[in-house]
Amino acid sequence: MMIMMTETINTINKKKSRATRNFILTIILIAVGILVPMLLNDAIDSYTRRILNLCAIYAIVALSMNLVNGFCGLFSLGQAGFMAIGAYSVAIFTVPTELRPDIFYIEPMNPFLANIEMPFPVAMLLGGVLAAVFAFIIGFPVLRLKGDYLAIATLGFSEIIRVVFTNTQTITNGSLGIKNIPTLSNMTTIYIVLIIVIIILALLLSSSYGRAIKAIREDEIVAESLGISLFKHKMIAFVGSGFFAGIGGGLYAAFLGTVDPKNFMFILTFNFLLIIVMGGLGSLTGTVIASFIVTYGLEVMRFFDEPLVLGGYEIALFKPGLRMVLFSVLLMVIVIFWQRGLLGKTELTWNRMFGWPGKIKGRFTKKKPDNEAVSLEKTEGGER
């Protein structure tokens, strides 16, 4: 009895020490995630800084999409529409008022909006809230659908938003778009927002609401039989996804310095779908890693779109579009051999990383069975 109590106490102490270790390492990682962009901001060239900023923005939007598609098990394709709402919110409210007449030169800007100017953080949060409101409104009819029907409905919503923005000349400047948006080239701000989004999503998914959302993904019938409100928790995931996509859209507008409806074609949504499939449907860390791999990989492979001349002869294969073909083939290979993505439904936790050395060592130190002993056992078994 005393031995069992001692073992139980030792197990509890180990869990507490691991929890303390993980908490300290997480705080250190957050500090590194803030300090490294601050140091790199002036140490790297503008091109590399721009790509790394784009990686972080894509990570935010991909995380928002994974909340619905990966953790809740729905199939939504409306991220481009939510991004557009956030982006235009930032564009409309952060452009200096004295520059707006030059932008809205065909039709003057709506008098109600013409003199309203907001700081970037306020406009970004407003864009996230507006995107969440639209997600809440369309969630009532749309979330009663499932599978492909839900995907088609959300994709249609995304296109409707784009068309509306194209035709509201006095608000969004129509197809001409909005220019002279105060640009955000500082890496620190974007990466702080990314860290905050990751923390909020991690806390949400570890809460009772997050466990209910994951239960819906696994089996809706069983989840409902356990008393989980399907519509309520689907709506929480959908509205949360819209909010964070709106935040990402606001950062995207400040990143580009200009927005127009063509920036939010439905093909943009498939970029994020590619990221979450590669990283793992249901993995926050996998999504972040895949965001950097996909975004930076596409830039590294850009030379495939340029003509290649060897020995005075131009190779006809190297033409614009080859980069996407090769990247699609690479994605197909990854999906075939890693069907669950890089991490699947798991996370890259501290416990998992500290367990790797033991697993690697165990593979090399594992004793192989003696062939003679095995054959002797088989012989004796046959004789019996």
**167: which 2 tokens?**
């035709």
Phi, psi of 170 (to 5 degrees): -80, -10
Tell me how far CA of residue 82 lies from CA of 65, 131, 213, 244, in angstroms: 10, 5, 21, 9
Chain center to CA of 365: 39
Which pLDDT does position 93 carry in this prediction? 93
What's the predicted TM-score (pTM) here?
A: 0.87
Examine the pLDDT at 78 and tell me if it is beyond 80.
Answer: yes
Examine the pLDDT at 185 and tell me if it is beyond 90.
Answer: no
Which pLDDT does position 381 carry in this prediction? 44
Examine the pLDDT at 382 and tell me if it is beyond 70.
Answer: no
Question: Would you place residue 374 in the very low, low, confident or very high pLDDT band (cuts 50, 70, 90)?
Answer: very low
Which pLDDT does position 316 carry in this prediction? 64
CB of 101 closer than 8 Å to CB of 55: no
Mean pLDDT of 213-229: 90
Examine the pLDDT at 234 and tell me if it is beyond 80.
Answer: yes
Which pLDDT does position 7 carry in this prediction? 65
Cα–Cα distance between 35 and 119 in angstroms, integer? 24
Which pLDDT does position 2 carry in this prediction? 61
CATH fold label, 43-302: ABC transporter involved in vitamin B12 uptake, BtuC (1.10.3470)
pLDDT in tens, 344-368: 888 888 777 877 777 776 666 755 5
CB of 298 closer than 8 Å to CB of 326: no
Which pLDDT does position 10 carry in this prediction? 67
Mean pLDDT of 35-64: 90
Question: Would you place residue 125 in the very low, low, confident or very high pLDDT band (cuts 50, 70, 90)?
Answer: very high
The DSSP element (H or E) to which 308 belongs, if any, is strand 308-310
Examine the pLDDT at 5 and tell me if it is beyond 70.
Answer: no
Task: Domain ranges for the chain, please list them.
Answer: 43-302
Examine the pLDDT at 204 and tell me if it is beyond 90.
Answer: yes
Mean pLDDT of 50-56: 92
**225: which 2 tokens?**
């039989």
Examine the pLDDT at 135 and tell me if it is beyond 90.
Answer: yes
pLDDT mean across residues, the chain: 84
Which pLDDT does position 163 carry in this prediction? 92
